[in-house]
Structure 1
Amino acid sequence: MSGQVVIKCVEVQQPIGLFYIGAINADDLVAISFSDTRRIEVENEIERYLGIQRPISPTRIKELGGYVNTVDASFPTSIILSISSEDVIFHKDTSTLEINNKPHTAKIIDGQHRIAGLKHFVGNGDQFQANVTIFIDMDIEDQAMVFTTINLKQEKVSKSLGYDLFEYASARSPQKTSHNIAKLLNYQKKSPFYGKIKILGKATQNGEQTLNQATFVEALISYISKEPIRDRDLLKRGKKISPATKDEITDLIFRNMFIAKEDASIAIIIDNYFTAISKKWPHAWNSSERGYILNKTIGFTSFMKILKPIFISKNKLGQVISVEDFEKTLEPIYMSDDDFVTENFAGTKGITKLTQRLLIDLGLDM
Structure 2
Amino acid sequence: MKNFHYIDVRQKDHSFKLTSLPAGLLTKIAYASVRRKDEEQGAVQRVLNGTRIAGIKDFALKMGDFPASIVLNWKAGQLSTKDNMIEIPDHENLAQILDGQHRVAGLKAAISENPDVANYLIPVAIYEGLDTANSARIFISINTEQRPAPRSLVFDLYGVMASNLMDPAAVRAGDIVSYLGSEGQPYEGWIKLPNQERQRGGVALSTAVSTIKPLVDDKGMLEQVGITELELQKGVFSNFFCALRSLYGHSWNDRGNAFIYASGFIGAIEFFRSHMFDYCKGKSSFEVNTIMFALDAEETVRILQADVKGLGGTEAANSIRDRLVGAFRPQTTASGFKI
Q: TM-score, normalised by structure 1?
A: 0.76
Would you say the 8 A contact 2:64–2:120 is kept in 1? no
Q: In structure 1, what is the equivalent of residue 260 of structure 2?
A: 295
| 169-178 vs 75-84, which moves further | 169-178
**Alignment partner of 2:68 out of 72, 77, 95:** 77
Q: In structure 2, what is the equivalent of residue 152 of structure 1?
A: 144
CA distance in 1, matches of 2:28, 2:115: 19
Shift, 1:288, TM fit: 1.7
Structure 2 gaps of 5+ residues are 331-339
Structure 2 CA distance for partners of 1:148 and 1:266, relative to 1, 3 Å: same
Structure 2 CA distance for partners of 1:162 and 1:256, relative to 1, 3 Å: farther
Aligned-pair identity (%): 22
**Alignment partner of 1:16 out of 9, 13, 22:** 13
Q: In structure 2, what is the equivalent of residue 7 of structure 1?
A: 4
Amino acid across the alignment from 2:29: I
CA distance in 1, matches of 2:250, 2:141: 46
Would you say the 8 A contact 2:41–2:132 is kept in 1? no
Q: In structure 1, what is the equivalent of residue 25 of structure 2?
A: 28
Amino acid across the alignment from 1:11: D
Would you say the 8 A contact 1:5–1:28 is kept in 2? no
Structure 1 gaps of 5+ residues are 43-47, 227-243
2:159 corresponds to 1:178: no
CA distance in 2, matches of 1:330, 1:197: 25
Would you say the 8 A contact 1:345–1:353 is kept in 2? no
Structure 2 CA distance for partners of 1:56 and 1:140, relative to 1, 3 Å: same
CA distance in 1, matches of 2:24, 2:76: 22
Structure 2 CA distance for partners of 1:263 and 1:296, relative to 1, 3 Å: same
Q: Deviations over 1:296-352 (max 9, x none)?
A: 1211112112223423223269x7622211101223884552555215954213323
Amino acid across the alignment from 1:225: D
Shift, 1:108, TM fit: 1.0
Shift, 1:115, TM fit: 0.9
Structure 2 CA distance for partners of 1:358 and 1:82, relative to 1, 3 Å: same
Would you say the 8 A contact 1:163–1:217 is kept in 2? yes
Would you say the 8 A contact 2:29–2:94 is kept in 1? yes
Structure 2 CA distance for partners of 1:140 and 1:221, relative to 1, 3 Å: same
Superposition pairs for residues 91-240 of structure 1, below 5 Å?
Answer: 92-93=82-83, 95-121=84-110, 122-126=113-117, 127-171=119-163, 173-188=168-183, 190-200=184-194, 203-204=196-197, 207=199, 209-226=201-218
Q: In structure 2, what is the equivalent of residue 64 of structure 1?
A: 56
Would you say the 8 A contact 1:110–1:147 is kept in 2? yes
CA distance in 2, matches of 1:51, 1:217: 36
Would you say the 8 A contact 2:190–2:202 is kept in 1? yes
Shift, 1:35, TM fit: 1.6
Q: TM-score, normalised by structure 2?
A: 0.81
Aligned length: 322
Amino acid across the alignment from 2:185: S
CA-based RMSD = 3.2
| Paired residue secondary structure (1:156) | coil
Q: Deviations over 1:177-199 (max 9, x none)?
A: 322332233231x2111101101
CA distance in 2, matches of 1:338, 1:218: 23
CA distance in 1, matches of 2:225, 2:161: 20
Would you say the 8 A contact 1:66–1:120 is kept in 2? no
Q: In structure 1, what is the equivalent of residue 318 of structure 2?
A: 352
Q: Deviations over 1:264-301 (max 9, x none)?
A: 23222222211111222347742324xx5322121111
Q: In structure 2, what is the equivalent of residue 315 of structure 1?
A: 281
Would you say the 8 A contact 2:31–2:97 is kept in 1? yes
